Structures are given as C-alpha cells and as structure tokens.
Chains A and B, each alone.
Chain A
Amino acid sequence: MNIFVCVKQVPDTETKIVPSADGSFIETSSIKWIMNPYDEFAVEQALLIQAANAGSTVTVVRVGSTKDTEALRTAMAMGADDAFLVEANDNLDSYSIAKALKGAIEKSGKKPDIILTGKQAIDDDCLQVPQILATMMEIPSVSVVVGYEGSATDITVKREIEGGAIEVYGVKLPAIIACNKGINTPRYASLPGIMKAKKKPLTTLSLADAGVSEADRRVKYSNFQLPPEKPPGKKFDATDAAKMGGVVKEVVGLLRTEAKVI
C-alpha cells in the first residue's frame, strides 16, 4: 500500500503566544516547534497499517516554514520511509495548505491508498484540511477517528461525536482518516531510528511546485491580539473548617446575585 501521512509543525503547547508587532501573525523567532500532537497518532497508525500490509511504504508530507524540520524528522525516526516538505509561511489558510498537500502527494508519483492526518492542528484549530483535501481528491474521509480496523481495501473506523458517542463507518479505500487521541499509542523514536532518519530522503518543493499561488488564499487573517485580561476576581479562604460553610454559602449566593449564572 502507498500510505501517506500529513503532518504540521506547531508551537509547543506550553508556548506563550505573542502577536507580532504589526498584528499580521505571531512572533515565531523564539518558539519551540513540535509535531502537532494529533499527527503523532496519524504517524503511528500509518506504521501499524504498514506492518499489517507487507511491501507498503509510508511517506510524510508537511507544508510550512523551514525553520526546522523537526516534525518530518520525528516521523521518519518513528519509521516513515521518506518525506516531502512544501516550503511556505506558517500562516497559510486551510484551503492553500490542502491544495499544497495534494500537489506534493501528486509530485511523489505514488497513488495513495490511504492518507492519515491528525484531527486538527493545535495552532489555528480550524479542523478543515483533511475534509478539504478529501473533497479536492474526490475520495471519502472520516474525521475525529478513535478506532481503526480493516484490510488494504476496506476499513471500519470509529468517529467520536458529541458526548463521547461513536459513529461507526464502513469506508472503501482510498480514503483520508483524521486521527484523534485514543486510536493508538504513538511509539517513541528510538536512537537508531533517529540516526537512520537523517539518511532518509527528504524532498523540498516550493509552493509553486505544489501548484499553489497567493490567489488560492480564501481566508485573510489580521489584527492578531491577546485576549482581554479579566479584572482580578474575589478570593476566599476556606482552609479553616469553621469558616468553610460560610464561604461556600457566600460564593453560591454571589453566583446568583452578582454573576447571575445560577
């Protein structure tokens, strides 16, 4: 099988986000970049599918800046065979990213049997790219997937919806599966894996090579700013058992009379 994984490189979840001076994006100079956490599940699922289908290859594709290639090297250290990087700014919109991914997959010369992605990237939180890519490629897709089983042609996947309910889908491949936490437990890259990854092929493309131009932008972002700070709230000491009852009664009262939420 030709297995593809799309990954994104995002700021570490512990990062303090600072808007850039002109408000056009965020300050990216001092950010620690990591593979989007949900994409780790996609890489792991690709490797599991490869192990179950002899002769399969796993190709990782990423669209983004070249500040470092952490996400792609991590995926290859985990076991992916080769990688494509489409060089672009980190503030592309979902439509442009999906079109660039499609372009890169076509450039690989391999026809995908399955494409795995994370359910969302934790930078722009759009949850759009897998669905856009599937529509552009005219293949089915299921998003927010927490369970996977099947053959090289037919799969059954579990999609998580509201309230933890599950929709069970039967899907004919080729298809795109966008993975959520719970689908598997991603492996750690081993030291030999990290050494080997350095020698694995990484092809770099420009956005133009992938068939994307500025005319493909659909969503324009501006005015990046921090959320308004809340005024300081009221703090009550309930460490003393004697006072506790009074404090709780007062807070519950304030929730009705002052905050008006109960």
Chain B
Amino acid sequence: MAMDMERNILLLVWFVCISTIYFLVPRAKAHEFVLCFLVCQAVGWIVEVLLVQFDLVAYPLREFPRASDLNISFKVALTPVASGLYYIYRPRANKWTKCFYFAVWISLLTLIDGMLAAKTELVDYVHFHWSLMAILYSIIFLSVRSLASWFFGDRKSFQEGSE
C-alpha cells in the first residue's frame, strides 16, 4: 500500500516534467532549455553517484533496482527540467533580484527533496542533512549556468560550430 504512493509520485514527476516542457518552454528558448537540461543530467549523475558511493543518501525505491542504486527519474527528469526553467526565466534586473530568484529555486528543490526524504521511501538521508542538499543543488545550478553562459556567450563562433 505504501509502495503505491511512491510509484504514483514517480509517475507524477514524469507527468509534471513532460507537461512543463510542453507548456512552459517557449520555442525561442528551446535551445537554451535543452542545453541546460543535458548539462544538468551530466553534473547530476556525478553528484548522485558520489552521494550513494559514500553512503550519504540512499534511494530504497527506484526504477531499476537490479541495475543500479541510483534514482533515474530525479536525475534525468526532475532536476534537469528545474535547471532548464531556472535558466530560461532568470531575471536580468539587479543583483538582489537574481540572488532572490536563485534562492527561491534552491529552496523549492531542497524542500521537495527533504519532503521526499521525510515522508517516502524514494529518498533516504543516511548520513546527510537537507542543508547539504541545498549546497549541492547550488553547485549543480551554478555549473549549469556557467556552462550555458559559455555556450551561448560567443555568438560568432556559433555559426562555425554548426552545419
């Protein structure tokens, strides 16, 4: 019975992610979104592997229990979509707005992760604290942003890089 709730949550994650991509990503921003999405899964993979390797976090209920101890949905759907949305809707106004916007996203993700850890079997903090998760999310988001800025920064080299 309890297991059903976790499976529903995983399904909900995929549902929310796919509908978010469909409805909230404008065509003109699609390239930025896709790049952030892909960078985030690459960085998130390393982070997740290290977390599990050093016994900090465990994912007792996961999609491929025989294949790995990692949770695939969070790594390939939830965090990448969040970082993509963060990047395409980021404000360019002043420093404080940017800081606030960043903090809101990190808090939201940390809250989701913390709730999942507290209430469900999906995430289990073994030797861990939610504040460390917030730091990790910040590292992921900052690396996504800096790589994306580099990628889209120099417009001229773009034409050569393409077909």
* A, B co-complexed: no
Query: Which positions in B face A, CB cutoff 8 Å?
Result: none
Query: Which positions in A face B, CB cutoff 8 Å?
Result: none
